[in-house]
Amino acid sequence: MALQQTELRPMGKSIGRKEDPRLIRGKGRYIDDIMLPNMLYMCVLRSPYAHARIRRIDASAALAAPGVKLVITGEDLAGMNLAWMPTMAGDTQMVLATGKVLFQYQEVAAVVAETRAQAEDALQLIEVDYEPLPVVVDPFKALEPDAPILREDKEKKSNHIFHWEAGDREQTEALFRDAPVIVKQDVRFPRVHPSPLEPCGCVADYNSATGRLTFYVTSQAPHAHRTVLAMVSGLPEHQIHVISPDVGGGFGNKVPVYPGYVCAIVASLKLGVPVKWIETRTENITSTNFARDYHMTAEIAAREDGRVLALRVKTIADHGAFDAAADPSKFPAGLFSIVTGSYDFRSAFVEVDGVYTNKAPGGVAYRCSFRVTEASYLIERVMDVLARRLQMDPAELRLRNFIRKDQFPYHSPTGWVYDSGDYEKTLNLALQRIGYAELRKEQAEKRARGEFMGIGISTFTEIVGAGPGHTFDIMGIKMFDSAQIRVHPTGKVIARLGVRHQGQGHETTFAQIIAEELGLSADDVLIEEGDTDTAPYGLGTYASRSTPTAGGAAALCGRRIREKARKIAAHLLEVGEDDVIWDGLAFTVKGLPGRSVSMKDIAFAAYTNVPEGMEPGLEATYYYDPPNLTFPNGAYIAVVDIDKGTGAVKVRRFVAVDDCGNVINPMIVEGQVHGGLTEGFAIAFMQDIPYDADGNCLAPNWMDYLVPTSLDTPHWETDRTVTPSPHHPIGAKGVGESPNVGSPAAFVNAVVDALSPLGVEHIDMPIFPWKVWSILREHGIDE
């Protein structure tokens, strides 16, 4: 259904000439809306056990049930050499359980029927004989020598997946030996779930006459999905047409390929009709990829005046039963080594070990660039621990240790090259906006009265825009991105890009970029994404890479078109090409501003009156491989009050100052910041996916895994500073994930600050009221 175009009020100036950019919404529909002739429905049977041997599966009763057309088991897939599929992290994952199950809710069998209700009923008729096996949900116990081996398919003698490290071990150890001050803190970032509004789903439609598969899927990376499906199914890639329609949220959850996708394709191949599969909410939370679940220990060596010297970090990463992250192949722990944050450490050493456990696959980059959220949270917590040890104001400690603006481009001790920033300016703006000095006075007065008020600071550096092809790839495919722009004779434009939005406003942002480059109105630009038959190959939308990569491709593609347009302008103006000047709106003749031709004039001429020997038309394709990532940053400050009677934490104020480089559309940025802060708030106070000792998932739905409502969500105050990225074509850095990266530490730092008079130095998230209540009661605080 086509949506009406909607005017949005401007919240500030953009880089474009229009101060009131339109939100241009394209046509689209969700997976649930797709109805095809003769379409069947698929549901999946899932394991009640976290670890068990499968002795027998009897599906005869299900096959005889009303409306049932097909039952698929792991043995059936093994007979077609489809039992296992590659993950984007280079691991392998069962499509349907073969031999044994490795986590509760793992896919065991699939039923295809005429209606969804018939398929669901038939699932109950499948008999599975399980032999329970020992369960391991603690990653530390999984590494013990006598732990049961989970991945027998790997012929491994342990549950260890990888060891990864960055930095200089020897130099770091030397600085620690001589340091007058050393602080250490164990920190856990709990297992959380992206939990998008729309769960994962697909419609597989194989045409036996043409041999072509049309695959509608809730995908953040349609081209990558097509490549993986070709690898799994054996279908030629050019015979796979992936269409990602409107996607109701992704946040990293819709980057991987899931077993349901493969089973739907197998069913369509076997039956020759379309097959639809859509998850339930419980299936989405319990079996699709989780995030975080990092057990981290950080130590800082510092001088007595607060100057940091070295950072030492050791981490255990719980990846569940399969390593299903979409991390670049050179970075099995993602970009966690950004853990030095915004601070000028002389040396650092970081190591991460990945571990298999009897949990659903983990490692997805939930609204962050491959483990950056964990890294930012860790360094910001430990900096507060250091401030408390030194009895120094946490703002002063950060200001004393920031990378200075004259140090950019800055080479971090773990190997990154930060492009630009002014961290001192950003924090000072946040301090000024929130009235920091006055708040500290108020806090002292409240403490004297026995009240608990806290102020938490988080100053973070993000790393986004994956990425440079010389360093970043997914399954060997370089992480460039693409744009294809076609200018029609009337000056109207269709632009197709290799990314895919899930609500980020690409139709607005990219239309503005292209309009700015071509001197046209954004209303004249139609943006298309998500169709592998029309869009150029791209790696998709995640890791805040849309504007840093596809936005760069769009800008440079527009400039490529402008170069041809310059030649046509010279022809129309009857002057040499060197005499033609682009003024942002039209081509003019040097010294004769009255003689000019607009891009619309040139567009018509491109199809009717080109110079002799020139190919007609006005279009271009550009594959942009950025020279570096971009490094947004921010300073967030939270103010909280604690109710002594209940332990409830009230976020009274929250100021977020972001630096995402040049801003294309301030309304889009504002929306992204608000959404990310809300997710960070939920992670800090409401969300965890716990498991009991038997591997039972204890938060399988929105009754137990809480999602904040408008009544729960604090009021957000936002501002920005701007330090353009020097290497990006339009100086943009990306912003979509920054608020999720930076906000959890601000919330936790505020709560710990409130409770610090009781000697509290750390609380692991989520900070449920009962945790705070227990701390207060332990210290005799009973209102």
Residues marked as catalytic: 220, 367-368, 737
| Maximal C-alpha separation, the chain | 90
Q: Give the sheet arrangement for strand 525-528, strand by strand.
A: 525-528, 493-497, 481-487, 619-624
Backbone φ and ψ for 660, nearest 5 degrees, come out as -115, 30
Omega of the bond leading into 766 within 30 degrees of 0 (cis):
yes
Rounded distance between C-alpha atoms, residue 308 and residue 310, angstroms:
6
**Residues 294 and 381: beta-carbon distance below 8 Å:** no
Distances (CA, A) of 333 to 23, 147, 744: 37, 23, 20
Burial 276-298 (b: 16+ CB within 10 A, else e): bbbbeebbbbbbbbbbbbbbbbb
Rounded distance between C-alpha atoms, residue 352 and residue 332, angstroms:
9
- Nearest-10 crossing angle of helices 259-271, 222-233: 60
**Residues 467 and 321: beta-carbon distance below 8 Å:** no
Looking up tokens 């227990």 gives: 774
Residue of 374, 434, 221 whose CA lies nearest to 744? 374
3-state SS, residue 416: coil
Rounded distance between C-alpha atoms, residue 253 and residue 256, angstroms:
7
3-state SS, residue 262: helix
User: At CA 745, angle to CA 353 and CA 355, rounded to 5?
Assistant: 15
Other CB atoms within 10 A of residue 38 CB: 10
Residue of 731, 725, 667, 631 whose CA lies nearest to 507? 667
Other CB atoms within 10 A of residue 344 CB: 17
Q: Per DSSP, what are the bridge partners of residue 278?
A: 201
**Residues 14 and 21: beta-carbon distance below 8 Å:** yes
Q: Per DSSP, what are the bridge partners of residue 302?
A: 181, 308
Rounded distance between C-alpha atoms, residue 26 and residue 761, angstroms:
50
Looking up tokens 């999720």 gives: 740
Tokens found for residue 385:
């621990």
Do the strands 240-243 and 212-217 form a parallel or antiparallel pair, or are they unpaired?
parallel
Other CB atoms within 10 A of residue 633 CB: 30
